[in-house]
């Protein structure tokens, strides 16, 4: 099966789908790095350089849609690694998946840091007409210098903002994720990011704070001490405060935050949302449009 049922008390979606494992973007904080060890690779450079791709994903998706046991619910594309990372330009697996979703009129939610999503506006706009797509664009900072060392192979700030504007102009609903918030590194940018993306047409903005599970903690700490030696200790202590004394949190507690730093971030975000987005609403998915074009059912 290509679609995974999410077993989580905090995930907003029932299904997730990842056409790629590993990610060329190289985001230093990425929680998905650890998952690469499942495939026998490391969480460091292996994660960025040894990319596993799934060329049969579109056909496998059709097979699942044709199953009599399929229950319609939005599919998160991708919950683990970016479905528009650079290799997608050549392989076009994500584009073919979107074609399948459109053919079957199945709802899909996309999260990406890459402007390559602009290529698929033709399909996305058709899905949007049927209330079958939500797009989340991740913006960590408006500082390209910071972006280039934090998430080196993602789209530039200018391209991300252009993408929000283009998607909105084509009536494709856009959410922006300010993620992750790293106290002392990009937390001060929350008000300016919310203001700007709202002006460009984003309908909602969310955020998460950084959590450093497993080997990611060591990778991130090395990066932090190299690039921000003057504040590394303070940043790490604030991350620990947010995560109740740890650099990470798991399970039901992974989205719970603690302490004064967390309170200040929440309050800053709340004020910005109330000021710039309080009159905007995000469209609901249409879960009734699903159809099997050839009326073919499989037993499983």
For 170-218, write each residue's pLDDT tens digit: 999 999 999 999 999 999 999 999 999 999 999 999 999 998 988 899 9
- Residue range(s) defining the domain that contains residue 243: 9-276
Q: Are 257 and 246 in contact (CB under 8 A)?
A: no
Maximum alpha-carbon separation in the chain? 63
* Residue at 24 is within a domain: yes
CA dist list (Å): 178 to 58, 152, 175, 205: 30, 17, 10, 7
* Residue at 283 is within a domain: no
Residue 1 binned pLDDT confidence (cut-offs 50, 70, 90): confident
CA pseudo-torsion sign 249, 254, 255, 256: negative
* Residue at 31 is within a domain: yes
When divided into structural domains, the chain yields a total of: 1
Alpha helices in 157-242 (DSSP H): 157-169, 190-199, 216-227, 232-242
Residue 118 CB neighbours (<10 A): 16
Average pLDDT over residues 122-128: 99
Q: Is 112 helix (H, G, I), strand (E, B) or coil?
A: strand
Q: Read off the pTM.
A: 0.93
Residue 258 binned pLDDT confidence (cut-offs 50, 70, 90): confident
Per DSSP, 67 falls in state: B
Window from 2-6, 133-137, 205-209 with minimum mean pLDDT: 2-6
* Residue at 157 is within a domain: yes
Residue 11 binned pLDDT confidence (cut-offs 50, 70, 90): low
Does the structure show a pLDDT above 70 at 287?
yes
Residue 80 binned pLDDT confidence (cut-offs 50, 70, 90): confident
Cα–Cα dist 82/97, whole Å: 14
- Of 32, 80, 28, 69, nearest to 224 by C-alpha is 28
248-254: long-range contacts, CB 8 A cutoff, minimum separation 24: 248/211, 248/212, 248/213, 248/214, 248/216, 248/217, 249/211, 250/213, 251/9, 252/9, 252/10, 254/10, 254/211
The helix (H) or strand (E) run that includes residue 207 is strand 204-209
* Residue at 293 is within a domain: no
The average confidence (pLDDT) of the chain is 93
- Of 41, 124, 103, 111, nearest to 76 by C-alpha is 111
Rounded to 5 degrees, φ, ψ at 97 are -65, -45
* Residue at 298 is within a domain: no
Could you tell me the CATH number of the domain that includes residue 73?
Answer: 3.20.20.70
Per DSSP, 131 falls in state: T
Residue 251 tokens read as 């399970």
* Residue at 151 is within a domain: yes
Residue 252 binned pLDDT confidence (cut-offs 50, 70, 90): low
Residue 79 tokens read as 């919950």
Q: Are 123 and 102 in contact (CB under 8 A)?
A: yes
Window from 42-56, 193-207, 225-239, 255-269 with minimum mean pLDDT: 255-269
Residue 300 binned pLDDT confidence (cut-offs 50, 70, 90): very low
* Residue at 69 is within a domain: yes
Average pLDDT over residues 112-125: 99
């Amino acid at each position: 099966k290509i679609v995974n049922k999410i077993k989580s008390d905090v995930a907003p979606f029932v299904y997730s789908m990842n056409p790629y494992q590993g990610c060329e973007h190289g985001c230093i904080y990425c929680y998905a790095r650890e998952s690469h060890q499942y495939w026998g690779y490391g969480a460091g450079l292996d994660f960025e350089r040894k990319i596993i791709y799934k060329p049969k994903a579109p056909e496998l998706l059709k097979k699942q849609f044709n199953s009599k046991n399929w229950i319609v619910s939005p599919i998160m594309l991708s919950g683990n690694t970016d479905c528009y990372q650079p290799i997608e330009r050549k392989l076009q697996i994500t584009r073919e998946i979107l074609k399948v979703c459109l053919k079957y009129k199945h709802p899909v939610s996309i999260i990406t840091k890459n402007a390559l999503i602009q290529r698929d506006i033709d399909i996305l706009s058709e899905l949007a007409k049927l209330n079958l797509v939500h797009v989340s664009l991740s913006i960590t900072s408006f500082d390209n210098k910071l972006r280039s060392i934090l998430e080196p192979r993602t789209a530039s700030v200018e391209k991300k903002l252009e993408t929000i504007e283009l998607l909105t102009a084509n009536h494709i609903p856009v959410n922006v994720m300010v993620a992750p918030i790293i106290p002392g590194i990009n937390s001060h940018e929350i008000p300016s990011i919310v203001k700007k993306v709202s002006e460009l047409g984003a309908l909602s903005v969310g955020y998460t704070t950084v959590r450093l599970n497993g080997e990611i903690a060591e990778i991130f700490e090395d990066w932090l001490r190299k690039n921000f030696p003057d504040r590394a200790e303070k940043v790490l202590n604030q991350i620990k405060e947010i995560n109740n004394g740890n650099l990470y949190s798991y399970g039901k507690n992974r989205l719970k935050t603690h302490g004064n730093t967390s309170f200040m971030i929440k309050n800053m975000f709340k004020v910005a949302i109330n000021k710039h987005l309080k009159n905007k609403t995000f469209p609901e998915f249409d879960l009734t449009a699903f159809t099997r074009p050839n009326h073919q059912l499989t037993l499983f």
